[in-house]
Structure 1
Amino acid sequence: MEYDTKVKNRVRRVEGQVRAILRMMNEGKDCRELVSQMSAARNAMDRAIAIVVSSNLEHCVREQIEKGEDTDSQIKEAVDLLVKSR
């Protein structure tokens, strides 16, 4: 599967957030600030995961429908991936 620029940019943004967290740790920033930034990075990664799974699901379901195949297993697998990612 190919990943579009929007998804890659989201992951790059998370990468920047994680670098900022490490910098904050090295600077001895307050725990509350650190946890807030860690939470923001986790939420951003969760959103990126959701986009990847939903895009892949859409692609796979369309292929299954074109082939006249059942899509239940694809949908279940996508839901399982989302649940596992949390």
Structure 2
Amino acid sequence: MKYDTQVVNRMKRIEGQVRGLLKMMEEDKECRDVVTQMSAVRTAIDRTAALVVSTNLERCIREEKEKGESSEDLIKEAVNLLVKSR
């Protein structure tokens, strides 16, 4: 799968968030602030994973329809991927 610049840019932002989080920890910032940033990173990763799955699912369903095949299994697999990611 080719990942578009939107997804790559999201991951770069997440990378920056993690670096900032590590800096906060090195500077002995308050636990509440560190955990808040951890939660923000987790949310960003979850949303990016959902974007990747949905984009891939859309493409795969289109391909299955062109072949005249059912996309039910693809949808189940996508849902399972999203459930696992949480």
Q: Same fold (TM over 0.5)?
A: yes
Structure 2, unpaired ranges of 5+: none
TM (norm. structure 1) is 0.99
Q: Which runs of 4 or more aligned residues in structure 1 lie more than 6 Å from their structure 2 counterparts after TM superposition?
A: none
TM (norm. structure 2) is 0.99
Shift of 1:10: 0.5
Partner of 2:63: 63
Deviation per CA, 1:35-63, whole angstroms, max 9, x where unpaired? 00000000000000000000000000000
For residues 71 and 46 of structure 1, the distance between their equivalents in structure 2, rounded to whole angstroms, comes to 24
Q: Does 2:76 match 1:83?
A: no
For residues 55 and 42 of structure 1, the distance between their equivalents in structure 2, rounded to whole angstroms, comes to 20
Partner of 2:14: 14
Shift of 1:80: 0.2
Identity across aligned pairs (percent)?
63
Shift of 1:74: 0.3
For residues 11 and 45 of structure 1, the distance between their equivalents in structure 2, rounded to whole angstroms, comes to 8
Shift of 1:82: 0.2
Deviation per CA, 1:9-44, whole angstroms, max 9, x where unpaired? 001111000010100000000000000000000000
